[in-house]
Amino acid sequence: MSDTVTVSIDNGVAIIAMDDGKANALGHAVWDQLDAAFDQAEAAGAVVILKGRAGIFSGGFDLKEIGKGAQEAITLTARGSTLARRILSFPTPVIGLSTGHCIAMGAFLMLACDYRIGTAGDFKIGLNETMIGMTMHHFGIELARYRIPLNYYSRAVINAEIWSPDDAISAGFYDRIVPADQLDTVASMTAETFGNLDMTAFKGTKTKSRKEFLQLLDQCIETDLILPA
């Protein structure tokens, strides 16, 4: 079976791409591959572009794995939280390149990125957990609280409202929208701009500014791993 995640590093930029030919469902194998890809990027000191395939960034967790049982669901969710937490504290800039639909855990990964570029088109963006019968985990609640404007927070987290790419900017999921045929060019230009930063200062400021928030997220991950009685 071929890898869902590929990584290429050139001129200080690591492009980490997800493509399973379907919804880019996030299961244990994908988390393994993403961790390995970020390991490579970190070792190279590269700016990261995290992208999906044409038409979709990710539809969220692999529901087949979620459906194996409560413990399996908790473990898989914690792995996603851990990867998102890694992005939030990654020592170099991480650019989220949303190539289409961006739902549930896919949207949380986008929320974790330092800069988010969405694709113009008939795509859906948001957190649909309460729509599909899932109670939001503590990590997700706090990450959303950190990145989503207050007047959109309840709409996103509790009401499971889904947005178009343009509306997703106001809702806090994206920073910019570009046409699909300009996506890679804009991402490359953005990575080049970020590459001009002093990475020691970037890492120090990112770490210092998020210190208490990251500690809160660590507590959330521990809490989310406790199986309800």
85's tokens: 């937490």
Give the start-end residues of each E strand in the chain: 5-10, 13-18, 47-51, 55-58, 94-98, 100-103, 115-119, 125-126, 162-163, 176-178
Alpha helices in 16-163 (DSSP H): 28-44, 63-66, 70-88, 105-112, 138-147, 150-157
Residue 69 has a pLDDT of 87
In a domain, 176, yes or no: yes
User: For the chain, how many structural domains are there in total?
Assistant: 1
Residue 228 has a pLDDT of 75
Residue-range definition of the domain harbouring residue 42 = 5-224
In a domain, 188, yes or no: yes
User: For each of the chain's 229 residues, which pLDDT tens digit applies?
Assistant: 469 999 999 999 999 999 999 999 999 999 999 999 999 999 999 999 999 999 999 999 998 998 888 889 999 999 999 999 999 999 999 999 999 999 999 999 999 999 999 999 999 999 999 999 999 999 999 999 999 999 999 999 999 999 999 999 999 999 999 999 999 999 999 999 999 999 999 999 999 999 999 999 999 999 999 977 5
Residue 1 has a pLDDT of 45
In a domain, 174, yes or no: yes
Residue 151 has a pLDDT of 97
Q: What CATH code is carried by the domain that includes residue 109?
A: 3.90.226.10
Residue 67 has a pLDDT of 84
In contact, 163 and 125? CB cutoff 8 Å: yes
What pTM value is reported for the model?
0.96
In a domain, 78, yes or no: yes
In a domain, 229, yes or no: no
In a domain, 101, yes or no: yes
In a domain, 205, yes or no: yes
SS3 124: coil
